[in-house]
Structure 1
Amino acid sequence: MDETSVPTTLPDDDASETTSGGDGKSSDFIEAFQWRADDNMVALRFRSGVVRGFSGDALHAIHAKDFAMVEVYPWRRSVFFKTTRGDGFSSRFGSRFNSSPLRDRPVVYLDQNQWSTLSKSVHAPWRVQSDDELKAAWRLIGLASSGRVVLPLSAAHLGETGSFGNDEGRYELAVAILSCSGGWQMRDPLQVRAAEFRQVLARSSGKPAALVPDVFTLEPYAALDPATREGSSPRKDHAELPAEWTYAYTASLSSMVYASMMLDQQATPRGDMTGWVQRVQEFSTWLSGETNRTKQQRRRAAEVFMFSDATREIARASFDAGLSLSEMSAWTQSTWHLPELGAPAISLFRATMIDKLLGSGRWEGNDLTDLFYLCTAAGYADHVVGERRTIGLLEQSVRRLHAPVKLHRTLASVVDALSSEQ
């Protein structure tokens, strides 16, 4: 087939399968590209029925071992996966010009325990704690499947699911997350914090301030930190594909990386948080023993501790934003002690961490992950659902900072809230 019949551009917004190009020869346009495990080939399938194949190693076979088939529909902006066990799910992607087409749909961020409830509602409904939660789980799955709400996955979900030791349970949980998230991700919290710091620091000195990138997005690899993203993304474009199709190809690889991280039969070991827990526990214990200090003095001490944790982030953001040392110092002295920094994720995380430090409770390894991701989500999502203890702690910060997010301890609560908003 003559390569001039391949469309040179994709529409900026979602298009139906019947979209045709300027020459009107819709039957000559690429309908999909597909990889199948049985022949290890990547094939371009044209609407005329013609199929043109090339070597399957271009698809990064290391990420394809859990799939029987991967089929990408660029005109629909979707990729369909069929696992080697016969389960199928689809993932959406945006365009180069609009990678986050939310269209005013509510974003609901689920903590890992809530994703587990969704998985159980499909695979083991008798294990769901109540009929109300079971019905709410089914309702939420329906809302996500129909595109009426967005349930983003995050790197925390990728890591916690991948480290799950129960092979069957991990597979079921992974399929539930991949099916319901549909390609939507929460951007890596470290990148959100970096962007927020750059913005508030630039504004403090009257310099141009770039916007914080979309936190909930279909952008390829957005959930991963840059180091992981660099190791997972393709290092070069493939000459066999039209250049204008590279974004769709990259998006499909991104979805495949996420799926393989969770579906891999070998559990991924979790990072060791012992050093962090020990340091925070020691400070919290010391702070609770300072009974001669007022509560306000103990809070200021906790603020200083939190500043020490963020020193590198602030210094890097100041450099990137073009601030001098004196300008950075001026911002620190005039702003860090304020309840609201003009940075939703940073403000909520700092406030919630300080409340927990003042509470002199016991710290555990998953506390940092829970607070880091839930506070970032709470800064930008419409609803956040998590376990009772963490949501109770976060509620104090949300009230104090007047954050617009709605917090929930159960799926039934968030489904009721969504129903009242419609």
Structure 2
Amino acid sequence: MLLFFCCCALPRLKNDRFLDGRKPGRSKKFRAAISPAYDDSVLLSRDISKYWVIDRSQRKITILCQDGRELTEEIPEDSDILASQIDITIFDWERWWITSQTNRGHLIVAEAYSPRTEDPLHGRPSVYLDQNHWSTLAQAIFDPSQIKHPAERDAADELIHLAQDGGVVLPMSSGNVRETANLYGDHRYKVGASLASLSGGWQLRHPLAVWRAELMRVLAQRHGVEVPAVATLPVVTLEPHALLDDDVQAHAMEPDDPQLFILAMSNPSVLLELLVEPGKAERIDPHAWVRSNRDFAEHLASGPYTKPQKEQAAYARAWTENGSMVTAALRELGLATGDNAMKPKEIQKLFAHMPALGAFTKLMVMRQINVSHKWRPNDLTDLIFLSCAAGYVDYVAAEKHTGTQLRQLNRSMPHGTDTSNVHTSLGPLVEKIRSDGVTTASEGPIGR
């Protein structure tokens, strides 16, 4: 059996298991995919291979070699990989791209992760989109008449042009994938295919992983110890599974590890499968989170507290709630896990030096000391992912409420995130990108 068959036997994971980080890739199907019976390492070479092609419609797997040879094997009729929304998958060894064709005939091209590439962005700025803006891009691709305002339609077309012609990258997050999974049928396909196509393999590292890295950095500085490499990983990345909070640590694998290669090649196809799966995933609303924060806000409002006292109480609560991550960070740094006690003012200063967790916490504090704020379950996703993006992505298109509050943080976090990169509609976003001098590959040099 060809090695390619095993590499492309992609997992059929349930969306909730994949998105919630509960050890995806540990199913029997996945273990079969990464444990090839035929392990001829010579095929894992650009000098030998030119294209690897899995054609489900023809039930055929082919390796096209550089010397013109074709190695072909038939896919059994009962193979799991035939139950797919993808008809054809092609791995291009020269460009290091994965091209997939869906069963509706749409081509999706993604860049593959390589641990040997020092600058995979090649100067391209990153742009993070909230789910409502991804829906607008999907409408611009599949049904432009659904966009009522011409200026927004033009901005969507321009952003698509920038993404498709090497001007910007549009990383997807697990928040985007989860919200797409809440859709179903034709609407889900259009949004999912647009996400997969325009993100091109780029991901936003899971915010919880980013928070842990930030805690390691600020605690390392506080205690005068060296910052570990795991705390400096890029947030916008092609690394397999980076958008998940799971135990697949591709960055820690050896560059020549065959399992790393299989992860790099299969990850874009796995994400595409999840995005265009026609069934609707079960929605999980964090009602306990809503009740807890509403009760805390009412407690602050009912007590004889000044505004600074309310803020200190809210920051102290946030530090306590993140206690397990603080303990894990101290352990990673080789420090005593009891070294996390500190005064309220120091807690606030530490949060101000963490671009993602600091912005998230500040937004939470702003809402907790405002008793009139209406807590809604879907706010949690917006807060977590938009605050993370604001700290590390060059441009952000947010939903209106959270985006407006993020922009206000510039006046309240002097050592924190510069959130002037946040916009709430596509028009001003694209105008800012272009005014910063960003061009496409065909227009000229890329740069801000």
Scaled by the length of structure 1, what TM-score is found?
Answer: 0.85
Aligned to 2:213: 195
Deviates more, 1:244-253 or 1:61-70: 244-253
Partner Cα separation in structure 2 for residue 340 and residue 316 of structure 1: 17
Aligned to 2:132: 113
Aligned to 1:250: 263
Match for residue 277 of structure 2 among 258, 264, 287 = 264
Q: Counterparts of 1:28-39 in structure 2 under 5 Å?
A: 29-39=48-58
Structure 2 contact 54–61 (Cα < 8 Å) conserved: yes
Partner Cα separation in structure 2 for residue 52 and residue 391 of structure 1: 52
Q: Counterparts of 1:14-413 in structure 2 under 5 Å?
A: 21=47, 29-54=48-73, 61=80, 65-98=84-117, 101-165=120-184, 167-210=185-228, 211-226=231-246, 247-290=260-303, 292-330=304-342, 335-338=346-349, 340-360=351-371, 361-402=373-414, 403-405=417-419, 406-413=421-428
Post-superposition Cα deviations, 1:25-71, rounded to whole Å, max 9, x if no partner, equal xxxx31111111134443211133322135758xx945961111000
Aligned length: 389
How far has the Cα of 1:266 moved from its partner?
1.3
Partner Cα separation in structure 2 for residue 208 and residue 384 of structure 1: 32
CA gap of 1:138–1:188, structure 2 versus 1, over 3 A, is same
Scaled by the length of structure 2, what TM-score is found?
Answer: 0.80
Partner Cα separation in structure 1 for residue 388 and residue 82 of structure 2: 29
How far has the Cα of 1:107 moved from its partner?
1.0
Partner Cα separation in structure 2 for residue 341 and residue 186 of structure 1: 21
Post-superposition Cα deviations, 1:303-354, rounded to whole Å, max 9, x if no partner, equal 1221222111111111121111453325x66631227542211111111111
Structure 1 contact 106–149 (Cα < 8 Å) conserved: yes
Identity of aligned residues (%): 28
Secondary structure, aligned partner of 2:232: coil
Amino acid in structure 2 at the alignment position of 1:180: L
Secondary structure, aligned partner of 1:69: strand
Structure 2 residue runs without a partner (length 5+): 1-38, 251-255, 438-448
Post-superposition Cα deviations, 1:191-211, rounded to whole Å, max 9, x if no partner, equal 111111112112211111124
CA gap of 1:414–1:389, structure 2 versus 1, over 3 A, is same
How far has the Cα of 1:172 moved from its partner?
0.4
Post-superposition Cα deviations, 1:350-400, rounded to whole Å, max 9, x if no partner, equal 111111111221111111110000011011111111111111121222332
CA gap of 1:369–1:283, structure 2 versus 1, over 3 A, is same
Secondary structure, aligned partner of 2:53: strand
Secondary structure, aligned partner of 2:122: coil
Partner Cα separation in structure 2 for residue 46 and residue 386 of structure 1: 46
CA gap of 1:182–1:358, structure 2 versus 1, over 3 A, is same
Aligned to 1:240: none
Partner Cα separation in structure 2 for residue 254 and residue 63 of structure 1: 17
Amino acid in structure 2 at the alignment position of 1:404: D
How far has the Cα of 1:93 moved from its partner?
1.6
Partner Cα separation in structure 1 for residue 171 and residue 406 of structure 2: 20
Aligned to 2:26: none
Aligned to 2:20: none
Structure 1 contact 71–80 (Cα < 8 Å) conserved: yes
How far has the Cα of 1:89 moved from its partner?
1.1
Partner Cα separation in structure 2 for residue 325 and residue 69 of structure 1: 51
Secondary structure, aligned partner of 2:385: helix
Partner Cα separation in structure 1 for residue 385 and residue 195 of structure 2: 16
Partner Cα separation in structure 1 for residue 346 and residue 45 of structure 2: 47
Post-superposition Cα deviations, 1:210-238, rounded to whole Å, max 9, x if no partner, equal 242100001111111115x59xx9xxxxx
Partner Cα separation in structure 2 for residue 413 and residue 341 of structure 1: 27
Structure 1 contact 32–44 (Cα < 8 Å) conserved: yes
Structure 1 contact 200–341 (Cα < 8 Å) conserved: no
Post-superposition Cα deviations, 1:69-127, rounded to whole Å, max 9, x if no partner, equal 00011220100010011111100023122376123321111000000010111222122
CA gap of 1:52–1:351, structure 2 versus 1, over 3 A, is same
Aligned to 2:15: none
Partner Cα separation in structure 1 for residue 56 and residue 338 of structure 2: 59
Partner Cα separation in structure 1 for residue 344 and residue 73 of structure 2: 60
Aligned to 1:26: none
Amino acid in structure 1 at the alignment position of 2:204: M
What do you get for the CA RMSD once the two structures are aligned? Answer: 2.8
Partner Cα separation in structure 2 for residue 245 and residue 42 of structure 1: 19
Secondary structure, aligned partner of 2:71: strand
